[in-house]
């Protein structure tokens, strides 16, 4: 159902460009606070950096960034965010699936990501597209900052 809603938006996925960075940073801030800065995003332009555009409004509403480790033949999803007004419409799923195709075309065999253990909605999304938890990490016993390492084979 969610993918159908994303299709109804008349969305388009394309590669990010430097001129897109201000809007991307706005979405980043709305989704996560200001965790990454302009230079983090600019450096990621050489990676798999895809945008979801609402064609009717001619606006960026989501993005995904994945880097590639050719040695291990693995892609790593670094960032995924959708504007709060567009969440729940299948945009994140569409971005993830498109990134899978690009990573497969780069002859990578697996993709991984980490996600905060408390972000149950994100964990459900990743499981829905085929990721499985392979490890649980915590930086310290005193802090509540555990996260899952999740992986998916690219077929």
What confidence score (pLDDT) does residue 44 get? 94
What confidence score (pLDDT) does residue 141 get? 60
> Do residues 98 and 66 touch, judged by C-beta distance below 8 A?
no
What confidence score (pLDDT) does residue 2 get? 46
pTM: 0.88
What confidence score (pLDDT) does residue 3 get? 46
What confidence score (pLDDT) does residue 142 get? 62
Inter-helix orientation angle 91-105/120-128, to 10°:
50
What confidence score (pLDDT) does residue 72 get? 77
Give a three-class secondary structure readout of the chain: CHHHHHHHCCEEEEECCHHHHHHHHHHHHHHHCCCCCHHHHHHHCCCEEEEEEECCCCEEEEEEEEEEECCCCEEEEEEEEECHHHCCCCHHHHHHHHHHHHHHHCCCCEEEEEEECCCHHHHHHHHHCCCEEEEEECCCCCCCCCEEEEEEECC
CATH architecture of 2-112: 3-Layer(aba) Sandwich (3.40)
Q: What is the pLDDT along the chain (155 residues), one digit of tens a residue?
A: 344 455 556 689 999 999 999 999 999 999 888 789 999 999 999 999 999 999 888 899 999 999 988 777 899 999 999 999 999 999 999 999 999 999 999 999 999 999 988 888 999 999 999 999 999 888 766 666 788 999 999 98
Report the DSSP beta bridge partners of residue 68.
75
Residues 6+ apart with CB under 8 A from 102: 48, 50, 66
Would you kindly state where each structural domain of the chain is located, as residue ranges?
2-112
Residue 105 dihedral angles phi and psi, to the nearest 5°: -65, -20
What confidence score (pLDDT) does residue 8 get? 53
Q: How many C-beta atoms surround the C-beta of residue 14 within 10 A?
A: 12
């Amino acid at each position: 159902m969610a993918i159908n809603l994303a299709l109804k938006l008349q969305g388009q996925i394309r590669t990010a460009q430097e001129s897109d960075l201000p809007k991307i940073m706005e979405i980043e801030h709305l989704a996560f606070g200001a965790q990454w800065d302009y230079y983090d995003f600019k450096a990621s332009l050489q990676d798999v950096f895809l945008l979801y555009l609402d064609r009717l409004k001619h606006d960026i509403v989501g993005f995904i960034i994945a880097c590639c480790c050719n040695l291990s033949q693995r892609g790593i999803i670094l960032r995924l965010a959708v504007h709060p007004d567009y969440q729940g419409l299948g945009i994140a799923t569409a971005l993830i699936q498109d990134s899978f195709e690009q990573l497969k075309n780069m002859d990578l065999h697996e993709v991984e990501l980490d996600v905060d253990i408390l972000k149950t909605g994100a964990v459900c999304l990743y499981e829905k597209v085929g990721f499985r938890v392979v490890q649980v990490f915590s930086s310290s016993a005193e802090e509540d900052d555990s996260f899952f390492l999740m992986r998916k084979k690219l077929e």
